[in-house]
Amino acid sequence: MARGDLVVLSEGDRVPADALLLEAQALSADESLLTGKAVAVRKMAGPAKDARPGGEDQPMVYSASLIVRGLALPA
């Protein structure tokens, strides 16, 4: 994946690289590989802010995270 590539993520997909969400529909991601917490977190599209793995309603998805619900179009 190169900068500017578009990827469609859906339930069961592994995130190929850290990315900002352009669109998200009922999206939840398991970021336990990064955070150690076994609870999926809700993700929402929007402008980049103080995004950290494990944060609810963050506009970022992170490499190796598992999409457990919904659809997303990251940049």
Q: Taking the alpha carbons of 27, 24, 56, 53 in that order, is the dihedral positive or negative? A: positive
| Domain 9-74 is found in CATH 3.90.170.10 | no
Q: What does the domain layout of the chain look like in residue ranges?
A: 9-74
pTM: predicted TM-score of the whole model, two decimal places: 0.86
Q: What is the pLDDT of residue 51?
A: 64
Beta-strand ranges (E) seen in the chain are 9-10, 19-30, 41-43, 60-61, 66-74
pLDDT in tens, 37-61: 889 999 999 887 766 677 788 899 9
Q: Please give the mean pLDDT across all residues of the chain.
A: 89
Element of type H or E holding 58: none
Band the pLDDT of 29: cuts 50, 70, 90.
Answer: very high
Distance in angstroms (rounded) separating the CA atoms of residues 66 and 43: 12
